[in-house]
Structure 1
Amino acid sequence: MTRSLILITHESFHYKKTVINKGVKVVLDVPDTMWDAPSAEITQLKKYCEEMVEEQEENIEQWYFNKKVRNEMPLEKYLCEDRVLKNRDSSCLREVYTPSNEENTHTQSKGDTEKIDL
């Protein structure tokens, strides 16, 4: 029995959906749910984010319900810089994400070439 490894990239996922939308029957050994499932890294980051929101719920509510504070200070500064990262390096909040050449090529084909601030 011969086994082969197929590298599944974002581009191949996009291509698969494109040909399916054109009526082509695509049969793969990979279940559709795996195509749509986020990577382990994304899943871990989402979990971390949800935990942080839960831990900071009181601070988020204070910012949200205090209109004066909300109008004077963005949530990023109020929560991240002044509370979560208090007395620590907060330079990461000002980093600008610049896509790699591979990501840039893909986003240009979709018409989305803007930088994303993290």
Structure 2
Amino acid sequence: MYLHKEINSIEAMPQSTGKGVSMKMLLSPDESPNFAMRNFIIEAGGFMPLHTNTIEHEQYVLCGRASVQLGDKHIEAKAGDILLIPAGVSHSYKTIGDEAYSFLCLVPKAQDTITLK
């Protein structure tokens, strides 16, 4: 089976955790046999709080810049960067500048438990 979608046809769903965070479910676990693909958007001045997941994350930054905490490290992520966040590693995001920070996030098709820190 194949699937074709246009990203602009997918509604961004506001997320209750953080500030100015929304998510587009590009490929849901029901549509893909092995992983889900999501597009997170954090508006300028927004953030996603420190948390852990029980599954890994593969991310590709589409636009903007953010201060990203990965465990005890802080990095500045920008368009074109690739991040691998192993399961259980705490992470957070805070936008830098006046542009939204947007990234693709791929996760394995598995039960995920999110724990806020």
Length-normalised TM-score, structure 2: 0.19
If asked which structure has higher relative contact order (CA below 8 Å, sep 6+), I would say 2
Structure 1 or 2: larger strand share?
2
Structure 1 or 2: larger helix share?
1
Which of the two has higher C-alpha Rg? 1
Length-normalised TM-score, structure 1: 0.18
